[in-house]
Amino acid sequence: MIFEVLTLFPRMIEGPASESILGKAAQRGLVEVRVRDIRDHAHDKHHVTDDVPYGGGAGMVMKPEPLVEAIEAAKAAMDGPCRVVLLDPGGRTFTQAVAREYRDVGRLILVCGRYEGFDERIRSFADEELSVGDFVLTGGELAALCVVDACSRLVPGVLGNVESAGIESFEEGLLEYPQYTRPPDFRGMKVPEVLLSGDHAKIARWRRKHALLRTKEKRPDLFSRLELGKADRALLDEA
């Protein structure tokens, strides 16, 4: 999968993209994270990418010329169809389902805003707008990294355990079940006996039950959208 991140602060992307699972995936050729400095597409000697807003007001606005040229250059560099995504609080909300959708697209250009936002005319050069949540960031770089990370781990071969991506939170609309590791007794808090039993059927049943219970307790909004089968309803009735 190929990502190209358009930003005024390339090092904010380059560092995280070279570490841990993302870095290993890049080394193995499974994921490529390119970074394009928007300032390289400004034609004045000071590489200015922002200006004061028409009509007055606080802050600065990102200029259309350098950013649009950066988008066009990134699209030209892609080997095949791609999707241009503007990181913006007005966009659709990023979810696990969107991550899977983007993984299937295979090529993304992620445009990071700064200051008071984009010149409105820039929006017509993007395919869509995306928000990672109802909160304010200083720029789109952290949001872009969320997208890169969430999509990359869905690429076959990126995760060491092929089952990991399929059993984690949100994959089935459920939060993940509780996890434990050694020691079996930590300050009087013991690992549930069923997890030590070696009975894989009982363990699977326990995990499913507690994933349902955890989702019902912590994310009732998710739980209300679940289509529960007879087996799941029976597990909840046991609680």
Q: Is 188 annotated as a binding residue?
A: no
Q: Is 133 annotated as a binding residue?
A: yes
Q: Please, what sign has the CA dihedral across residues 143, 147, 148, 153?
A: positive
Q: Which long-range contacts (CB under 8 A, 24 or more apart) does 166-171 make?
A: 170/95, 170/96, 170/222, 171/96
187: left (phi over 0), alpha (psi -120 to 50) or beta: left
Q: Is 111 annotated as a binding residue?
A: no
Distance CA 151, CA 28 (A): 16
Q: Is 132 annotated as a binding residue?
A: yes
Tell me if 145 sits within 8 A of 176, measured CB to CB: no
Q: Is 148 annotated as a binding residue?
A: no
Distance CA 65, CA 184 (A): 60
Q: Is 8 annotated as a binding residue?
A: no
Q: Which residues pair with 129 in a beta bridge?
A: 86
Q: Is 136 annotated as a binding residue?
A: yes
* Binding site, annotated residues for S-adenosyl-L-methionine: 113, 132-137
* Binding site, annotated residues: 113, 132-137
